[in-house]
C-alpha cells in the first residue's frame, strides 16, 4: 500500500513521531508545506500529524478539506501535545478538532510530545510568557489553579521530552490492517 506521512511541527516533537511512523510503514514523508494536494490524493493511505496549540491541531484544516477526494482511503490523524495521555484529554482534543462526520473517515490518535521554550518562535515565546504571568497573577491572588495551569508552570523552564515510540503501534496496526 502506497502510504504518505505528512506533518506540521514547531519544535520537532511531531516530526519525530512522523519519522518513526514513516520508517515503520516504509512510507513517504513530507512536511505539510512540501506536498501538493494532487500528490496527497494519489496515495492509498494518508497519515497526518500536527502539534497542538491552544487545543487546535496545526494544519489539520487542509486534510479535512481534502476528505471528499480521499473517500475510501485509510486516513489516520495524530495530534501531539504536552498534556499527559489521558482519556479525557484525548476526547476533548478529538471533539475540538473533528466533527462526528469527519471521525467516520478519520482514525484519530494522540501522542505526548514535550516542551522546549527556546525552540519556539518569538511570537510563541511571548504568548507563553503572557500565559505564564497571568497564571502567576491568579496564584498570587490566592485563587486555586487548575491541573493544567499547575502543569504549565512546572513545564515552563524545563526542556521536556515525553515522546514514546511504542505509542505509534495502534496507528501502525490500523494502516497495516
Ligand X SMILES: Cc1cc2nc3c(=O)[nH]c(=O)nc-3n(C[C@H](O)[C@H](O)[C@H](O)COP(=O)(O)O)c2cc1C
* Closer residue to ligand X in complex, CB, 16/74: 16
Among 24, 35, 67, 82, binds ligand X (CB under 6 A): 82
Residue 9 C-alpha from the chain's centroid: 8
* Closer residue to ligand X in complex, CB, 22/105: 22
Among 4, 5, 9, 29, binds ligand X (CB under 6 A): 9
End-to-end CA distance of the chain: 11
DSSP H or E stretch at residue 23: helix 13-25
Q: In this chain, which stretch among 20-28, 34-42, 109-117, 135-143 interacts with ligand X, using CB under 6 A?
A: 109-117
User: Hey, is 9 helix, strand or coil?
Assistant: coil
> Is residue 13 a contact residue for ligand X (CB under 6 A)?
yes
* Closer residue to ligand X in complex, CB, 3/51: 51
Q: Is the dihedral of CA 107, 108, 113, 115 positive or negative?
A: positive
Among 14, 48, 94, 108, binds ligand X (CB under 6 A): 14
Q: In this chain, which stretch among 12-20, 36-44, 68-76, 169-177 interacts with ligand X, using CB under 6 A?
A: 12-20
Site for ligand X in 16-55 (CB under 6 A): 51-55
> Is residue 97 a contact residue for ligand X (CB under 6 A)?
no
CA angle, 132 then 134 then 138, to 5°: 115
Tell me how far, at minimum, the Cβ of 132 lies from ligand X, in Å: 11
- C-alpha span between 170 and 174 (Å, rounded): 6
Among 4, 29, 48, 83, binds ligand X (CB under 6 A): 83
Task: State the residue for C-alpha cell 502543569.
Answer: 151
Tell me how far, at minimum, the Cβ of 117 lies from ligand X, in Å: 8
Q: How far is the CA of 61 from the CAs of 49, 85, 94, 107, in angstroms? A: 12, 23, 14, 15
Amino acid at each position: 500500500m502506497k502510504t504518505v506521512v505528512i506533518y506540521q511541527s514547531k519544535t520537532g516533537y511531531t516530526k519525530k513521531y512522523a519519522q518513526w511512523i514513516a520508517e515503520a510503514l516504509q512510507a513517504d514523508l513530507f512536511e505539510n508545506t512540501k506536498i501538493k494536494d494532487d500528490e496527497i490524493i494519489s496515495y492509498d493511505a494518508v497519515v497526518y500529524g500536527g502539534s497542538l496549540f491552544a487545543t487546535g491541531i496545526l494544519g489539520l484544516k487542509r486534510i479535512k478539506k481534502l476528505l471528499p477526494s480521499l473517500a475510501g482511503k485509510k486516513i489516520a490523524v495524530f495530534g501531539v501535545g504536552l498534556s499527559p495521555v489521558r482519556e479525557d484529554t484525548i476526547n476533548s482534543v478529538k471533539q475540538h478538532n473533528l466533527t462526528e462526520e469527519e471521525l467516520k473517515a478519520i482514525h484519530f490518535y494522540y501522542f505526548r510530545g514535550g516542551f522546549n521554550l527556546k525552540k519556539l518562535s518569538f511570537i510563541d515565546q511571548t504568548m507563553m510568557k503572557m500565559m505564564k504571568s497571568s497564571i502567576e497573577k491568579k496564584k498570587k491572588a490566592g485563587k486555586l489553579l487548575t491541573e493544567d495551569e499547575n502543569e504549565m508552570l512546572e513545564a515552563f523552564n524545563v526542556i521536556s521530552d515525553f515522546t514514546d515510540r511504542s505509542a505509534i503501534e495502534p496507528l501502525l496496526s490500523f494502516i497495516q490492517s
